[in-house]
Amino acid sequence: MQKKDIDWSELGFSYIKTDKRYISYWRNGRWDDGQLVEDNKITISEGSTCLHYAQECFEGLKAYSTQDGGIQLFRPDENAKRMQRGCEKLLMPTVATEKFIEACAQVVRANEAWIPPYGSGATLYLRPYIIGIGDNIGSKPASEYIFSIFVLPVGSGYKDKLRPVNYIVTEQDRAAAHGTGAIKVGGNYAASLQANAEAASRGFAGCLFLDPVTHTKIDEAGGANFFGVTKDNKFVTPYSPSILPGITKMSLMQVARDYCAMEALETDIYIDKIDQLAEAGICGTAKLATPIGRLEYRGNPHVFYSETEAGPVITKLYDTLFGIQTGDIEAPAGWIYKI
């Protein structure tokens, strides 16, 4: 397959129209078989619930080129399960895991020319989403839905993949304590836009949110989970009902245990005790694992390992997980789906 004429090393995380996308409709109580289409525009009713009542959820995952010329997905079953939980919370029809994975495979195969080559550092990003559509009014579930997946080649979430970034702690909340924080819905991201914009205006890469109940414990960033490495070499990451259960975070915990011989814990991380962390970072599908160099809280800056280079543990975690994703390191059972 002839690849597109792209400078893969210069890719960021921006929309690029690729050749095909997958789309399936829920009508009369069932999903249709779905199909691949060229048009990247969808037409929906002005009464669609996704426009008025935020009845929508989405996912993010990647396809990777391997050294032997293969293509593989990383833990797509976990993305399917998380989307199912989101649909259940918002009273939308779920997509079966088998349908979800097969739809991902179809759209990846149809856009093979857009998949960055092995060794480029770039990947193919998949964005599945479900939205409520149709002629609706009133705050209630829709009677029709769209399930679609589009793809685009991306580089690292940040230009220099392991260069530390600086973050600030915001006083705003991303999600309510028992609201929608634990599912991947657009409203959570909309709620983080102002805080992140304020952080950017002050020269920070982003912000961290504290728990919405006490504002004493770190929850997560607007689009990524937080993690740290303690001075006694434990991998720690927050747990709360308002945090999105990240697949990258979950994977890094297992990598820490099985590949780095570390204890890995989901636990409270108090903002006034961050000096107990030797290294810290954010993790997610787009960024994988990015170190935080400096974190500012109420005007007080704290530097973790360094503001200019990644610490040794985060470097090893990043290299190991990316090696698994690209087929260079043997993966735990069930993590890889070959296209």
Which residues are known to be catalytic?
184
3-state secondary structure of 335: coil
* Residue among 78, 98, 108, 81 nearest 31 (CA): 98
Q: DSSP label at 270?
A: B
* Residue among 228, 211, 314, 310 nearest 276 (CA): 228
User: Nearest 5 degrees, angle CA 216-CA 206-CA 62?
Assistant: 110
Two structure tokens written together for 209 = 């949110």
**Angstrom distance (rounded) from CA 172 to CA 182:** 17
Pair type for strands 165-169 and 206-210: parallel
3-state secondary structure of 186: helix
**Angstrom distance (rounded) from CA 338 to CA 105:** 9
- What is the distance in angstroms between the CA of the first residue and the CA of the last residue of the chain? 14
Residue-wise burial string across 261-294, b where 16 or more C-beta atoms lie within 10 A, e elsewhere: ebebebeebebeebeebbbbbbbbbbbbbbbbbb
